[in-house]
Amino acid sequence: MIHTCGLTRSFRAGGETVEAVRGLDLDVEAGSVVAFLGPNGAGKTTSLRMLTTLLPPTSGTAVVAGHDVLTDASGVRHRIGYLGQGSSAGSTFRVCDELVTQGRAYGLSRTKSRIRAECLLAALELEGLAKRTVGTLSGGQRRRLDIAMALVHEPEVLFLDEPTTGLDPHSRAHVWEHVLRLHKELGTTIVFTTHYLEEADLWARRVMVVDHGRVIADGSPEKLKAGLAGDRIILGTAGCADAGRAVELARALPTVHEVTAEGTEVRVRTLHGDAQLPFLLRILEVAGVRALTARLVRPTLDDVFLGLTGRTLRESADVTAVTATRDGV
């Protein structure tokens, strides 16, 4: 559905060249949900703007939904929906009129535009707001209207640039619930950017971690976390001698990547932590090492970013983590 090769984009700013995207090679299958995750200035928006034909690449090629972004921008635009960081709806217009106008702009007949508008208002739970002006909507309602506008022409690919930034956790969960239901029902390919680790972790099947214009890791959240971070077992031992002995025993286990100790606390980084924890405790017991507490800590995508860059995404992005969960609480 999306294929890019060596895509780059640089800008001239303040007498200097900023290399915003430094060689994006991408293959996205139809029906995927892909997240670009990275700190401020990593190149996420610039990548999306090139894929949506809003910005010409400096070099490289990109084909989206079978059409080249440079030689057939119109072909691409007819097949994609784009939700930018700002709202595209005019605040003084009525919600239903904005949707119909958007449909008309995409070449739909008046009747088809009205049908699509009604259908999307229902799908995104905006029916009760159809006659309100856009300016009177809440942030979450407005974002859902933006998504409806991006979907009016039934695009094959939906690009969402930070779809939930600035929304409260409840509205975020609500927006995602709708986007993913539409994805499930229509098979729409979704590419989104986010600062929110939890959104990438929960909703994307593939995460591309971006830093300084390059993709530095690419895979499912599970694979990235298992491969690049691993689980952590944190043991509280009865004394420093016990901790020292626990370090030796843990290091001998085949799935363990790293073991460190600080005072009486021992930290073990390992694959399959849930299986390793009882096994490790048995070994310690047999060896007479006294472990008083044991905790299993699952890795986050922030651990992946930290492992790759030495920085945390939370520090880099300076944003509050989203607390949305799969069931929207």
Which residues of this chain interact with ligand ATP, rule CB under 6 A? 11, 13, 18, 20, 38, 40-46, 195
End-to-end CA, the chain: 33
d(CA 324, CA 168): 9
- Closer residue to ligand ATP, CB minimum distance, 40 or 71: 40
- Closer residue to ligand ATP, CB minimum distance, 11 or 279: 11
SS3 state at 156: coil
Tokens of 155: 């695009």
Q: Cα separations (Å) of 224 from 135, 231, 299, 316?
A: 41, 12, 10, 19
For the bound state, the minimum distance from the C-beta of residue 162 to ligand ATP, rounded and expressed in Å, comes to 7
For the bound state, the minimum distance from the C-beta of residue 178 to ligand ATP, rounded and expressed in Å, comes to 23
For the bound state, the minimum distance from the C-beta of residue 80 to ligand ATP, rounded and expressed in Å, comes to 18
Tokens of 287: 């060896």
For the bound state, the minimum distance from the C-beta of residue 224 to ligand ATP, rounded and expressed in Å, comes to 18
Tell me, rounded to whole angstroms, the distance of Cα 132 from its chain centroid.
Answer: 32
For the bound state, the minimum distance from the C-beta of residue 56 to ligand ATP, rounded and expressed in Å, comes to 12
Phi, psi of 156 (to 5 degrees): -80, -30
β 206-211/2-13 pair status = unpaired
